[in-house]
Structure 1
Amino acid sequence: MSKKTLKTANRSKKSPRRVNWWILGALSIMLVAAITINVIQQNQNKVDPVAIAPNEISQDKSIGSADAPVVVVEYGDYQCPACGDFALTVKPKIMEEFVNTGQVRFVFRSFQFVGEESQWAAEASECANEQGKFWEYYDKLYSSQAGENAGAFKKENLEGFAAELGLQTEQFNQCLASGKYTEKVKSETLEAQNLGLRGTPSLFVNGIFVEDGSHYEVLSQKIREGFEK
């Protein structure tokens, strides 16, 4: 084989490799473009939570002085692990430092979206609220999490929690069985959705949504800022 023929043969062997690199390059560009477009679309569709007026929020599930200068509102789901962390580790600090000293009124609103057991748990907490035991039941629910829709909040357990907390069980059980608070819980969830909330726990301080508000350092700082306004 002549040198010319050999070079031609070598070029023929190399050309598929060049083609492969071109294909890979083109695919990479297409992938980056697709990701960029997706991110842009997500940002365009993103709705920031709107402000709420504290006096427009029902405070039937609240604790603290009615005259407190700062109102903190939590939207939570009883099956949400992050809500459980907040309720058991952050909220007690907020209670001790701000609520028990008369500086903050803390309000809970239902945003139940994880599943059916979230709805049942929220209705049960309303029944506990009838007997003045909402916050005790709130703590019991969050300390009893055991996975999502895995039976932790089946109705027999919810009734058992009431008995453990010393509620009048016949009244509680009748309340839960009646479904009298089904629509109330659903309306609070719809309220959260209309505010643009996308997850739980979601925290507001004097009506203003607090990004990363489930962290003590962030929430306590926003509360202190609320004293200055």
Structure 2
Amino acid sequence: MSQQRKSKGAFWALLGAVAVLGLIAIAYVAAKPKTRGITEVDLKADPTQARGYLLGDSTAPVQVIEFADFECPACMQFATLTEPDVRKLVEQGKISYRYFDFPLEMHRNTWEASNTAACADEQGKFWPMHDALFAAQDQWNGEATRNPKPVLKGLAQQIGLDVAKWESCYDEQRYRSRIAANRAEGERRHIQSTPTFIIGNKIIPGALDSDKFMSYVAEAAAAAGPRPATPAMGPASGLPGAKKDTSGARK
């Protein structure tokens, strides 16, 4: 009887040890950092490719940069409500406007959208595609579909692209390294949310309304003085440096 008790005790002790080891293994796997494809691409990104997409004269008195995500609702809000006034400033030669991709991992189809725009840029139509993507965001975003290509292909046709050339570029993901470099430039500048703007020498997060945007431009123009500003070249990308300003801006 005593021997049976000892055997049972040894059995339960062994079973308990196995259970503990199993729990430790599960905890290790759960806690282990997960590698993501996007992160790997970003780490390999060549920052010299980070030029963004320019609208206007690069020698304009005020340089404006936007880091944005095509699937970001706040970016769509800015593009729809404020950007028409921004483009008037571009047409008047008061600012230059440069768009950088900053795709967020939370948005399922944002890389496909950036890929779509980059392939449109190959045919000289980045900005028409930029506008079309934001206008149709609710048709191709991650909540609407897991396969955005049919909608994106329709947009390519809508803006007058050579669809066969666009599709070849899209399927090849020809400009993925450029998109990754644009995002890496944002990370180098400690961009954390979209949209985020650099106006003059200030970094401003949030979807600015027209009045707020104009006030930042006026401030930057006053700081630049009567002569067009010649921005200091950044160490990696050749883009102007900036200081962060969160006063009155939304995240």
TM-score normalised to the size of structure 2?
0.64
Distance 1:152 1:138 in 2: 21
Distance 1:190 1:60 in 2: 12
Higher fraction of helix: 1
Matches within 5 A, 1:32-47: none
Identify the residue that residue 227 of structure 1 maps to in structure 2: 221
Distance 2:110 2:51 in 1: 21
Distance 2:207 2:64 in 1: 10
- Ranges in structure 2 where 5+ consecutive residues have no aligned partner: 1-47, 224-251
Aligned-pair identity in percent equals 24
TM-score normalised to the size of structure 1?
0.70
Structure with max Cα Rg = 1
Match of 1:69 among 47, 61, 67: 61
Distance 1:65 1:143 in 2: 26
Instruction: Report the AA paired with residue 169 of structure 2.
Output: C
Alignment length (residue pairs):
173
SS in 2 for 1:65: coil
* Aligned: 1:105 with 2:99: no
Identify the residue that residue 123 of structure 2 maps to in structure 1: 131
CA deviation digits over 1:151-174, x for unaligned, max 9? 287112111100011011111110
Contact kept, 8 Å, 2:193 with 2:205, in 1: the verdict is no
Shift of 1:60: 5.0
Matches within 5 A, 1:149-160: 149=142, 150-151=144-145, 154-160=148-154
SS in 2 for 1:115: coil
CA deviation digits over 1:200-220, x for unaligned, max 9? 110111242024462222221
Matches within 5 A, 1:118-197: 118-146=110-138, 148-149=141-142, 150-151=144-145, 154-197=148-191
Distance 1:79 1:152, change over 3 A: farther
Distance 1:189 1:60, change over 3 A: closer
Q: Which moved more, 1:144-153 or 1:162-171?
A: 144-153
Distance 1:99 1:173 in 2: 31
Instruction: Report the AA paired with residue 100 of structure 2.
Output: R
Distance 1:79 1:184 in 2: 18
Distance 1:219 1:213, change over 3 A: farther
Identify the residue that residue 30 of structure 2 maps to in structure 1: none
Q: Which moved more, 1:71-80 or 1:212-221?
A: 212-221
SS in 2 for 1:92: helix
Contact kept, 8 Å, 2:53 with 2:100, in 1: the verdict is yes
Contact kept, 8 Å, 1:144 with 1:152, in 2: the verdict is no
